Structure 1
Amino acid sequence: MNLTLQYIGKVLEQPDWNFPTHRHQHFSELIFVTKGEGVVTIAGERYAVQEGDLLVYNKGVIHEEYSSQNNPLALYYSGILHPDMEMLIPFECCPVMKTKEHKNTIQSLFDLLFEEAQHKRDQYQQATQQLLTVLVVWVHRLNKENTTLNKVRNAESLAIGIKEYLDIHYLRHLTLQDIATEFHLNPYYISHVFHRKYNDSPINYILNRRMADARQMLVSTKLKISVIAHLLGYENANYFTILFKRLMTESPSQYRKRELRERINL
């Protein structure tokens, strides 16, 4: 595995400790709770966490943490680059894992990682990479062991929700990142889940929705093509014509003439 430790740190039983909503675009985080309890929100879902829990924040996923005042959290946090893997665990898996009888093993790995990073002895970079490899192997093992506890997300429902959002907002100039932000998810997840359900990308779906409206207006109204383009959010009528022709293999004016020739209005 090609893994690099970006940072590692500790939080030591601070009753008022919290970390507000944030995300990391280029690396993932592993959190190990050594004591106490608290609440974390990951991709819009809340989880109660406690001693022995291992948390996985895939890159791009929005998250926040809050410690209990009565039983404050103590934890390790670490940032990990993994260029050969899109994510540390699959999207549909629960990001909070119970280590149970493996708690001491996971704690020992974090202890060693922290020590290597802190003292930077000879060949510490190789040591941290090897420790990270073992740790990520344990993440995959625990993920399998926790399958009965995993809160499996309903990908089909998510895809339907994305489609409903696009059906409402398709006239806006949305990017994949805009859609991902709306759903508190990574753009890769959004594209993957939507394509699996509809065999199309969200952006292409928006384009097809707009062009469906364009076809309707071309045959049911006498609006100028420039006006139709403007109503569909295109300031440049020439750009709209190019997109329409790319999709329909004929220009808007050609489409209008052909459809009106073949259509009988009552």
Structure 2
Amino acid sequence: MLQNSDLFLNAVEKDSLDLAFQSSGIDQCVCGNIFGPRIRRYYLIHFVLDGFGVLQIEEKKYPVKPGQAFLIPAGVNAAYQADFRHPWKYCWIGYQGTQAGYYTSLLFGDGFVTDIQDVTLYEKMIMKFLAFTDRRIPDGARFTPEDFPLTFFSEAKTASGHLKLNGLLKEMFSSLVAEHHKDQEDISSAPYPKQIKAYIDRHYNEHMQIQDIADYLHLNPHYITAVFKQKYFKTPKQYLTELRIEKAKIYLVDTDYSLQVIANAVGLENPFSFSRLFKSVTGYSPSEYKKRFPNWFS
């Protein structure tokens, strides 16, 4: 197995970027090899180069074959297992950021498996990620268990390395989005619910109100609430609250930031209103949550 990661920024700092590289790798799995069930704080896309396997999201299973990619969304309990007769060989990319969910939706929609025109193109791209951080991997190398019998793990720890990996990540997404013919989905021409969600995803860390969305889209606030609820079965305010609380959970378990800093980071003005909101949603005070759930994200 070959694998690398970017350690220049921590996970919380990466979450503030629009799209941030987390890790990449390639492996030939053994029969029945299983990962999970596990919850990750970042997104994972696997490109299946050969063999077969099954993806499990919560309680539902999805068979995956060569020439397909499968998605593990952030914050979702997922597992995936290689076939017992023809185990898969795959490469993967892990990423996060404020726009990670939006870009992922352009590829997978509401699903978890999609066809890829040429998975070897993304195999070559991922080998570029790996070769950049590990000089033991020659440029243009192809992965085979015979050539790489041991696990090679490498890291990027510098600003230049971080920027290079993120540049390669965006190049990969450019190819994926173009392949799926989604360039026409400029968010400004997307249906209103998607535009509303995208605005909240970008501005949840500001002191925003529903009126701000209304002003941005030149719509009535009541109409915004109605069309959003029709699509997502919750109001924009409920979605904003859920998003803020999920981001706050990450800050609580991953950092030693004060409540004032965390409150400001998720768009709330003071730690007292943040603490009240957090407890009303989770049933725990921020300090209780930090003690009870010590870094359950991986």
Q: How does the TM-score come out when normalised to structure 2?
A: 0.44
**Structure number with bigger Rg:** 1
